[in-house]
Structure 1
Amino acid sequence: MEPSNHQANPPQEFKDRMVAVFGVAGKTYLEGLGETVARYTRDWGLSVKGPAPNLSYNYVLFVTCADGTEAVMKISVPTEDSRNEILAVSEYGGGGCARLLRAVPEDGVQLIEHLSPGTMLRAFRDEKEATESFCNVWTRIRRPLPYGAEIRPVGRMGKEACAKYRAMHPDGGPIPESHVTLAEDCFSWFEHHGTTELLHGDLHHQNILLDEKRGWMAIDPHGYAGDPACDLAPYLYNELEGKPLEETLDLRTSVMLSRLPVGRERLFRACIAMTIMSACWNAEEGNLQGIRLQNRITEWYARQLSGVLSDGVS
Structure 2
Amino acid sequence: MKPFKQLADPPQEFRERMLAVFGQAGRTYLEGLGETIFRYTREWGLTVQGPAPNLSYNYVLFVTCADGTEGVLKISVPTEDSRNEILATAAYGGDGCARLLRAVPEDGVQLIERLSPGFMLRTIRDEREATERFCEVWSQIRRPLPDGTAIRPVGKMGLEAFANYRASHPGGGPVPVRHVALAEECFRWLAEHGRTELLHGDLHHQNILLDKKRGWMAIDPHGYAGDPACDLAPYLYNELEGKPLEETLALRTSVMLGRLPVGRERLFRACIAMTVMSACWNAEEGNLTGIRLQNRMTDWYRGQLI
Task: Sort the TM-score into its range (normalised by shorter chain).
Answer: over 0.9
| TM-score normalised by structure 1 residue count | 0.95
Taking the aligned partners of 2:15 and 2:101, their CA distance within structure 1 comes to: 27
Question: What residue is the counterpart of 2:187 in the other structure?
Answer: 187
Question: What residue is the counterpart of 1:126 in the other structure?
Answer: 126
How many residues end up aligned between the 2 structures?
304
The amino acid that maps onto 2:129 is: E
Question: What residue is the counterpart of 1:88 in the other structure?
Answer: 88
Name the SS of the counterpart of 2:221 in structure 1.
coil
Question: What residue is the counterpart of 2:3 in the other structure?
Answer: 5
Deviates more, 1:249-258 or 1:32-41: 32-41
Deviations 1:20-61 (A, max 9, x none): 111111111111111111111111111111111110110011
Check whether the contact 2:84–2:224 (CA below 8 A) recurs between aligned residues: yes
Check whether the contact 1:98–1:113 (CA below 8 A) recurs between aligned residues: yes
Taking the aligned partners of 2:54 and 2:285, their CA distance within structure 1 comes to: 18
Deviation at 1:5, TM superposition (A): 3.3
List structure 1 segments (4+ residues) > 2 angstroms apart after TM superposition: 3-7
Check whether the contact 1:74–1:109 (CA below 8 A) recurs between aligned residues: yes
Deviation at 1:187, TM superposition (A): 0.5
Taking the aligned partners of 2:184 and 2:25, their CA distance within structure 1 comes to: 31
Question: What residue is the counterpart of 1:172 in the other structure?
Answer: 172
Name the SS of the counterpart of 1:267 in structure 2.
helix
Deviation at 1:4, TM superposition (A): 6.0
Taking the aligned partners of 1:232 and 1:65, their CA distance within structure 2 comes to: 34
1:126-145 → structure 2 map (5 Å cutoff)? 126-145=126-145
Name the SS of the counterpart of 1:73 in structure 2.
strand
Gap runs ≥5 in structure 1 = 307-314
Deviation at 1:69, TM superposition (A): 1.1
The amino acid that maps onto 2:153 is: P
Deviations 1:113-134 (A, max 9, x none): 0000000001110100000000
Check whether the contact 2:152–2:225 (CA below 8 A) recurs between aligned residues: yes
Taking the aligned partners of 2:288 and 2:27, their CA distance within structure 1 comes to: 26
1:90-109 → structure 2 map (5 Å cutoff)? 90-109=90-109
Q: CA RMSD in A?
A: 0.9
Check whether the contact 1:4–1:47 (CA below 8 A) recurs between aligned residues: no
The amino acid that maps onto 1:181 is: A
The amino acid that maps onto 1:11 is: P
Question: What residue is the counterpart of 2:48 in the other structure?
Answer: 48
Taking the aligned partners of 2:168 and 2:195, their CA distance within structure 1 comes to: 31
Taking the aligned partners of 1:178 and 1:257, their CA distance within structure 2 comes to: 26
Gap runs ≥5 in structure 2 = none
Name the SS of the counterpart of 2:152 in structure 1.
coil
Deviations 1:82-125 (A, max 9, x none): 00000000000000000000000000000000000000001110
Taking the aligned partners of 1:176 and 1:196, their CA distance within structure 2 comes to: 28
Deviations 1:274-301 (A, max 9, x none): 0111111111111111111111111111
| TM-score normalised by structure 2 residue count | 0.98
Taking the aligned partners of 1:50 and 1:295, their CA distance within structure 2 comes to: 40
1:202-217 → structure 2 map (5 Å cutoff)? 202-217=202-217
Check whether the contact 2:2–2:50 (CA below 8 A) recurs between aligned residues: no
